[in-house]
Amino acid sequence: MSSVDRAAKADRIRHLLETEGDAVEANTLGFNRGRYESVADLEDYETLKEEARTIKENAIERLPELVDELTATVEENGGSVYLADDAADANRYIRDVANEAEADRVVKSKSMTSEELEVNDALEREGVDVVETDLGEWVLQVADDAPSHIVAPAIHKSREEIARLFTDQFEPDVPLETAEELTMFARERLGDLIEGADIGMTGANFITADSGSIVLVTSEGNARKTAVVPDTHVAVAGIEKIVPSVEDLAPFVELIGRSGTGQDITSYVSLLTPPVESPVVDVEEPDVAFADRDDRRDFHLVLIDNGRTAMREDDQLRETLYCIRCSACANSCANFQSVGGHAFGGETYTGGIATGWEAGVHGTDSAADFNDLCTGCTRCVNACPVGIDIPWINTVVRDRLNREGDDGRFEFVYDELVPDEEPGGLDLQKRLFGNYGTLARVGSATAPVSNWLAGLAPVRALMERVVGIDERRELPTFQRETLREWYDARGPRIDTADADREVVLYPDTYTNYVDTDRGKAAVRVLETLGVRVRVPAVGESGRAPFSQGMVATANRQASRVYAALAEDVDAGRDVVVIEPSDLAMFRREYEKLLPERSFERLRDNSYDICEYVYGVLENGGDPGGLRTAGDGPGIAYHAHCQQRTLGLDRYTTAVLDYLGYDVVESDVECCGMAGSFGYKREYYELSTDVGDRLADQFAEPDARDRLVVASGTSCEEQLGDLLDRDAVHPIEVIDPRFRWPDP
């Protein structure tokens, strides 16, 4: 990306932060909080999620067969089924239905699949009036705007904006102000439009192959009206919406509302088996009793392929088809919470899973613009009711995008510095951050000159212009003596004979070259607990290239790490990791990079440093030598996002608690720094906007005088930048040598 492009992107993000950010933030945070509360009421939440996933896995596996079964069922019921290859094909069919019905007006219930087709445009070109009946979607139609969220399309609009819009467009007799007034105005207007409509068009959240039922999950009731008032119903759905049987709906009905807007269930879950028995509401025959009518309803199910069959055959994109469009990935995403779907979305779909959908239905390029907004924080992974590894899909698509661009201009300058496996022409910024380990090694070897150089204004200006490192960010200071060098010179302090346990402390790039203090603290804490420590030469985990979508490079680094650690694992030594993002590689991401057995062995034998300390204490370890709270201040603790996904933050709080510390833990999804993300010129404003949610929490009265503690390096940097208070790693707090920093 050129510096001009970066500046343009930064401007666009800043504009959205200013115009839509507040409304998006309030709504998504509300949905997300609702999700936490609502799923907490479910005793068997994890079981339901597994069940939902299994149903989807099987359904997609059996998809061709289910399409046939559904087709037969619907036709037997008296409806028609059309399997459309792509948008043009679907639109042609729908236009034919409209022509046949001599339709002047189609009323529509919100459907992302129909947005994917752009069916409104197709019908309007034929002179058919199309009216969206979902109130949010209708607001967008009136405003000529696009959805910014899969479930709540108009969340970026405030009540005041909607009131202005209605006043300008409709010049109502009485001024409209409150949400109630706006809703009633829309209800009345749309009610009339529905009653005079010739065709009702809906989507489908699920379709059951055994009964041919269309399941619509809504709260307003517009989908019900749309389906049963006109005499013709057209349902538009991607083929992936099919589940085998009615009974398979159970976990989804319990999960979809909770996952999306945090409601236990939406007001209406319609299970319509068209052609439905309900009579037509014919305003031209106002006095004919419904019971006396003998309606022949017309039903058309338009099943859309539009890339889905290819997605099914694509081992990396297939999981996208399990998506039930609940929006949990968007609501739980720290970046989405700030900018919404107008930045974090493509032609149709928004939020974390949008990358998969866009790449699948519109092509990889349509994900290019927003794909980097996924920082791989993984907070969406646990939120997804069908357990889709959304960050992995984003990484795969990023990798594919990396391989597309190839202008090779700076290759010759860079090749020495970038020992990676990536194709020439890869974006310089990605290449720089992807090779951070090499940079750190060189920087450390040449410190303090490298630090001095990196601090010079002209150098920073150049860095911003060429590779897009924002000048406003303070750069990490490289240490002349690495953690490994320190440890080699010092040697172990516990004899093998006296050691209760022996561990390998993984020297991650940041701890080894930059924050050696926390590495030293970890060594001292472990030794205080009678653990013999080794700090061997093990290379980078691959996190840095992985997060840039440089999968081949990450793959090579993962193999090397495993090779370097395999003997220790064989010898029964545990691998203890300080940096959560590296631990998350071992525990999660290596599943995609290593042979299954290797992954499992490393996963099962690697521990977060505080998790390990917790385990030693639980097993009778003597905490006597560790630093206890004493009369020091309380702690404001921010766990790392990937650590929280793995459920490991509780060990840190448990250890601190055990040693008498008073801890307040943050509840934000991610600090917004996310490794290299916050350094990037184009994302700096977004990163600090996200970080402000965390900083604000730590500025509250119950946290503002506390010691700031963070598990991740990027979290420490972000907090340091935003709060002007130094943050430390929890292992430093309990280090016998720890001194409270000056306030």
Partner 1 sequence: MGVHAERFDATLADLDVPVTHTDPTGFNRTLETIARDPAIGTALPFESVSLPDWVDDEATPATLQSASTGITAASIGIADYGSVVLPATPSGAEQVSLFSDLHVAVVRADDIVPDMRTAIDRLGPRLRDGGSVIVATGPSATADMGALVRGAHGPRDVHVVVVETGDEADE
Kindly list the residues in this chain that would bind partner 1 in the complex (CB under 8 A): 77, 133-136, 139, 152, 154, 158-160, 162, 178-180, 182-184, 186-187, 190-191, 195, 208, 210-211, 213, 219-222, 224-225, 228-229, 245-247, 249-250, 253-254, 264-274, 276-279, 281-283, 285-293
Q: How far is the CB of 251 from partner 1 (least distance, A)?
A: 9
Select 262 or 691, whichever has its Cβ closest to partner 1. 262
- Report the nearest approach of partner 1 to the CB of residue 195 (Å): 8
How many Cα atoms are found within 13 Å in the side-chain-facing hemisphere of 603?
17
3 state DSSP class of 608: strand
Q: Is 601 helix (H, G, I), strand (E, B) or coil?
A: helix
Nearer to partner 1, 162 or 722 (CB): 162
Main-chain dihedrals φ then ψ at residue 313, nearest 5 degrees: -90, -5
| Minimum distance from residue 97 beta carbon to partner 1 (Å) | 21
CB 343 to partner 1: min, Å: 21
Instruction: Please say whether the beta carbons of 485 and 513 come within 8 A.
Output: no
List the one residue out of 668, 632, 660, 663 whose CA is nearest residue 650: 663
- CA 57, CA 386: separation in Å to the nearest integer? 9
CB of 611 to partner 1, least distance (A): 36
What is the distance between the alpha carbons of residues 222 and 226, in angstroms, rounded to a whole number?
6
| Of residues 158 and 559, the one with the C-beta less far from partner 1 | 158
Query: In terms of CB distance, is 208 or 697 closer to partner 1?
Result: 208
Q: DSSP letters along 455-515, please?
A: TSHHHHHHHHHHH-B-TTSPPPPPPSS-HHHHHHHH--SS-TTT-SEEEEEE--HHHHHT-
Shortest CB 48 distance to partner 1, Å: 10
* Minimum CB distance to partner 1, residue 629 (Å): 41
Taking each continuous run of H as one helix and of E as one strand, the counts in the chain are 37, 18
Residue-level length of the chain: 743
Least Cβ distance, residue 227 to partner 1 (angstroms): 9
Nearest in space to 614 (alpha carbons), one of 587, 584, 574:
574
The residue (of 283 and 461) whose beta carbon lies closer to partner 1 is 283
Q: Which is nearer to partner 1, 256 or 439 (CB)?
A: 256
Choose between 36 and 290: whose C-beta lies nearer to partner 1: 290
For 527-563, letters b (16+ CB in 10 Å) and e give: bbbebbbebeebbbbbbbbbbbbbbbbbbbbbbebbe
Report the alpha-carbon distance of residue 167 to residue 151 in Å, rounded: 26
Give the DSSP H or E segment for 439.
Answer: helix 436-445
446: exposed, middle or buried (Cβ count in 10 Å: 0-12, 13-18, 19+):
middle
Structure tokens at 35: 């999700």
Report the residue number, 43 or 498, with the smaller CB distance to partner 1: 43
Question: In the complex, what is the shortest distance from the CB of residue 607 to partner 1, in angstroms, rounded to a whole number?
Answer: 39
Nearer to partner 1, 89 or 295 (CB): 295
